[in-house]
Amino acid sequence: MLLEILDLDAAYGDVPALSGVGLSVEPGEIVALLGPNGAGKTTLLKAIAGLLRPRAGTIRWEGEDLNRVPTHLIVERGLALVPEGRRLFASMTVEENLTLGAFAARARCAQRANLERVYALFPILRERRRQIVRLLSGGQQQMVSVGRALMSRPRLLMLDEPSLGLAPLMVQAILDVLVEINRGGAAVLLVEQNVRAALTLAHRAYILETGRIVGEGGGTELLQDPHVRRAYLGPLAAPEYFVL
C-alpha cells in the first residue's frame, strides 16, 4: 500500500471538514476523488500534503505515519500536490518555477534529467522557459504547476481540480498527460469537477459528501451507478445519449 488513510478527522477552527475518512492508493493506481463543492476534497489533499494537520486519524505513507512529518519533508518522501488555483511563483520564470520544484534533496541530484522529462511532456514549456509565469495562458500555467510537482519525482501525484477554468482542448491535454505520467510509474490521486472524464481514466474512485466517504468503486463501475449518475452526471447522462 502506497497511501493509507484511516478514520481521518479534520476541521477549520470549530467547523468540521472531514470525519472518519478512509482511503487508500496502491502503487501505479489512478484514483479519483469526487464530490460536490465544499465536500472536503481540497481539505483531504491538504491534510495529506501536510498543509493542514488532522484532528484525529492516521495518514500512512508506505507504512509510515505522516502526521508528525514536517510539510517540506513530505515532498522529500515522494508525495507532491498540484494545488487548487495553481499557486505558481508568478513573478518568476517558467524554469525558475520548475527548478524550485526540485528543491527537495532527493530530487535535486536528478534535476537536469527531471527538467528534460517535464519538457518532453510539455514541449511548449521549453520554448517559454525564460518567460515570466504571470504572462502565460491559463493552460500553460497549469502545465507549469503540474511540471513543478513532477520535478520532485513523486511516487504519488495529487492534483486538485487541474482542469478548472481551462478550455476543453486544454483539459483533454492535461488529462492525457496524467495518463502518461501514470504509465511512467507514478500513482495519481485526482480531484476533478469533470466527473465523466475523471471516472473514465481512473482505476478506482471515492465519493466524498459533507466530509464523509459515501461511495467507492471502480471507475467504470461508478459510471453506471445510479446515485453517481443522478448526482454528478445529470439526468441526460445515459450512455444511449452520449458516447463515452
Partner 1 sequence: MIILCQQLVLGFMIGGLYGLAAVGLSLIFGVLKILNVAHGELIMLGGYGAYWLFTLVGVDPFASLTIVVPAAVVAGLALYWLLFRFVVRAQEERRIKNSLLIGFGLALALDTLAVKLWTADERGITTAYAGKVLIAGDLAIPVVRLASLAVAFALIAALHLLLTRWRWGRAIRATAEDWQAALLTGIDVRRAYLLAFALGTGLAGAAGTLVSIGYSISPSIGLEWTLKALIVVVLAGLGSMFGTFVGGLFLGVAEAASAAAFGGPYREMIGLVIFLVVLMARPQGLFGAR
The residues binding partner 1 (CB under 8 A) are 49-51, 70-73, 75-76, 80-81, 83, 87-92, 96, 99-101, 103-104, 107, 148-149, 151-152
Nearer to partner 1, 151 or 199 (CB): 151
Nearer to partner 1, 107 or 222 (CB): 107
Nearer to partner 1, 33 or 205 (CB): 33
DSSP 31-85: EEEE--TTSSHHHHHHHHHTSS--SEEEEEETTEE-TTS-HHHHHHTTEEEE-TT
DSSP 172-205: HHHHHHHHHHHHTT-EEEEE-S-HHHHHHH-SEE
Nearest approach in angstroms of CB 100 to partner 1 is 5
Nearest approach in angstroms of CB 82 to partner 1 is 9
Nearest approach in angstroms of CB 160 to partner 1 is 11
Compute the distance between CA of residue 214 and CA of residue 23 in angstroms, rounded to an integer.
11
Nearer to partner 1, 73 or 120 (CB): 73
Nearer to partner 1, 73 or 179 (CB): 73
Element (H, E) at 147: helix 138-150
Nearer to partner 1, 128 or 153 (CB): 153
Compute the distance between CA of residue 129 and CA of residue 93 in angstroms, rounded to an integer.
7
Nearer to partner 1, 11 or 233 (CB): 11
Residue 19 has a CB neighbour count (10 Å cut-off) of 18
Task: Please list, in sequence order, all residues whose beta carbon lies within 8 angstroms of the beta carbon of residue 239, skipping any fewer than 6 positions away.
Answer: none
Nearest approach in angstroms of CB 242 to partner 1 is 36
The residue among 175, 128, 123, 177 whose CA lies nearest residue 150 is 177
Compute the distance between CA of residue 206 and CA of residue 197 in angstroms, rounded to an integer.
14
Nearest approach in angstroms of CB 161 to partner 1 is 15
Nearest approach in angstroms of CB 45 to partner 1 is 10
CA 24, chain centre distance (Å) = 14
Start-to-end C-alpha separation, the chain: 31
Give the burial class of 34: count Cβ atoms within 10 A of its Cβ; 0-12 exposed, 13-18 middle, 19 or more buried: buried
Nearest approach in angstroms of CB 124 to partner 1 is 21
